[in-house]
Amino acid sequence: MKDLSIARALEAMAKDPARRWTVAELARLSGLSRAAFARRFRRALGVTPLRHLTELRMRIAAEQLTSNADKLAAIAAVVGYTSEFAFAKAFKRAFGISPGTFRDAARERFRAAA
């Protein structure tokens, strides 16, 4: 990424996706005002900072659901959700299916490939 200010924010989110990030906090890390940060971030990535954070969390959750047998509550905590219900709702909004159905489908694909 050419924009080092935005790169710092991306790195921080990736290192600690469970943290309750705010645009103001990410802007401070980037050395920009809140408005300038939000504009530059959207221009660079095509989404808002908090939308990117949600997408990052959902990618991590999907990977966790397919790579281990952790309970949904544990995966929810890893990606920054304090309730399993809120996590499941966000996951379904992102993928169109519940986390449990996603995990079952991944297991089925694995069995079919073996």
Domain ranges of the chain: 4-113
pLDDT over threshold 70, residue 1: no
Distance CA 95, CA 90 (A): 9
The predicted pLDDT at position 108 comes to: 86
Task: Please tell me the distance from the alpha carbon of residue 19 to that of residue 13, in angstroms, as a whole number.
Answer: 8
Q: What is the pLDDT of residue 102?
A: 96
Structure-token pair, residue 17: 């996706």
The pTM for the full model equals 0.91
Q: Tell me the mean pLDDT in the region 14-29.
A: 97
Q: Could you tell me which of 84, 103, 95, 83 has the C-alpha nearest to residue 54? A: 95
Q: What is the dihedral of CA 32, 38, 43, 45, to 10 degrees?
A: 100
Closest by CA to 51, choosing from 42, 43, 40, is 42
Per the model's pLDDT, the better-predicted residue between 85 and 106 turns out to be: 85
Topology of the domain comprising 4-113: Arc Repressor Mutant, subunit A (1.10.10)
pLDDT value of position 111: 76
Res 114 pLDDT > 80: no
